[in-house]
Each structure stands twice: as C-alpha cells, then as structure tokens.
C-alpha cells in the first residue's frame, strides 16, 4: 500500500488538520494519517506538503517505514532511530506486521468471507493505476470479511497478506465491488463520494526495543 502521486492535472488540496499522534516514544511514532494527504513528497513544489514533512517539524529525526495511499486514512508507524527503521522494515518484509483495513464497497457482497489471490503490476500506460497480470504481476493476497450491508453498499474488513501498490483497491475491483469514492477504479455512482472509503484501522507490530507486541487502532471516520 504505497503512496500514489496524483495525476499532474489533479488539484492537490491537502487537509489543514493538526498532527494526530497516537503513540510516541524514543524509537517509534504512530500517527493517524488523514485522507487527502500524501505520505511523502510528490514531484514538484506543489506536492511538497505531506505527512512526513509535517511530522519532521516536531520530530526532525523521523524516518520512513511504509506508506499509505494519499486517499487512504489511518494508522501509520514511523521510526525515530535508524535501528527502529531497520527493525520495522524487516517486520514488513517478513510479513510479521498485521494490518487491518475497513472499506465501504459498491454493491451487496453475497459471501460472508473469502480470499483473493491475484498478482498485480503497474498498468504502465495508465500509471499509477495497477492491474491484475498473471504473467508479469507480483503475488498479492487479501483476506476479507463482510461486516454489514448498508443501503446497496457493503462494509468490509480487509486483511492484506502482501503490500502491493493499490492492492486492496484493485482486489475489490476484481471482486466486482470497487471501493466507494475511488478516483482510479470506481466509476459512475460508486465514484461519487467525498473521499476514498478506505481506512487503515489497526496495525500490530513488535516494538524495536525489546520486542513487545503492540496493537494500534484508529476508529473508522466513515
């Protein structure tokens, strides 16, 4: 789930909201990223405002560990020491981090739960869009569970087992239920929402100093 730089024609208007710090200690910083804010700077001065730069004003030593798409809100962890950055990076690489997302998707999902195993790669003519590609794609797996039906839409809890760019967005599209408000993959009425209805609800990790298991959770804002 990496940042997707907006289309050059996109009018970037990041939210003017204060930092929402969930946890801070000598090694890690956990924040609630708002929707509409890049995780890291994009290309050009007009895309310089981003979460890590806002954090840097208060924590100059901040180091990047992972990203969320600009349109996605929720839990992000940053490192405050090189050791913590390496430790957390390895947890992501070895798939030891446990991430949970909540999404609202178009249509009524019939099944109670399932899994999606579809390889993904960049759709080069339409970057930064991704697509399913069985020949060139990298493995991507998502487990999901239906939470409830809401007026012709479905609230889902998503459990990515890999972290490909736009993974949850493309996998929900492949399921036949695009995420509401998705500017890249939703069409028609499914796209007509004020934001992407995707939120990183929780993140479970081991603290880089001592290995204690920690669970961070942010309420879903939609």
Other CB atoms closer than 10 Å to residue 136's CB: what's the count?
9
Identified catalytic residue from 3, 69, 71, 182: 69
Could you tell me if 103 and 195 are in contact, meaning their C-beta atoms sit under 8 angstroms apart? no
Is residue 192 annotated as a catalytic residue, yes or no?
no
Question: Where does residue 147 rank: exposed (0-12), middle (13-18), buried (19+ CB within 10 A)?
Answer: middle
Query: What's the CA angle centered on 17, arms 13 and 23, to 5 degrees?
Result: 130
Between the CA of residue 220 and those of 28, 73, 100, 217, what are the distances in Å?
Answer: 23, 9, 11, 9
Q: Which residues are annotated as catalytic?
A: 69
């Amino acid at each position: 789930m990496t940042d997707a730089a907006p289309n050059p024609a996109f009018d970037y208007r990041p939210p003017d909201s204060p930092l929402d710090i969930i946890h801070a200690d000598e090694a890690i910083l956990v924040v609630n990223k708002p929707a509409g804010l890049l995780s890291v700077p994009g290309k050009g001065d007009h895309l310089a405002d981003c979460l890590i730069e806002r954090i840097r004003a208060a924590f100059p030593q901040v180091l990047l560990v992972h990203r969320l798409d600009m349109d996605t809100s929720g839990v992000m962890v940053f490192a405050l020491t090189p050791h913590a950055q390496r430790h957390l990076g390895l947890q992501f690489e070895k798939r030891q981090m446990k991430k949970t997302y909540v999404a609202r998707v178009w249509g009524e999902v019939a099944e109670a739960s399932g899994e999606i195993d579809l390889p993904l790669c960049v759709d080069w003519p339409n970057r930064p869009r991704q697509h399913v590609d069985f020949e060139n794609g990298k493995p991507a797996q998502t487990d999901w569970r239906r939470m409830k039906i809401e007026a012709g839409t479905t609230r889902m809890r998503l459990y990515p087992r890999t972290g490909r760019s736009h993974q949850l967005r493309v996998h929900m599209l492949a399921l036949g239920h695009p995420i509401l408000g998705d500017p890249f993959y939703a069409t028609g009425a499914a796209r007509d929402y004020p934001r992407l209805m995707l939120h990183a609800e929780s993140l479970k990790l081991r603290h880089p100093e001592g290995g204690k298991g920690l669970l961070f959770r942010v309420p879903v804002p939609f």
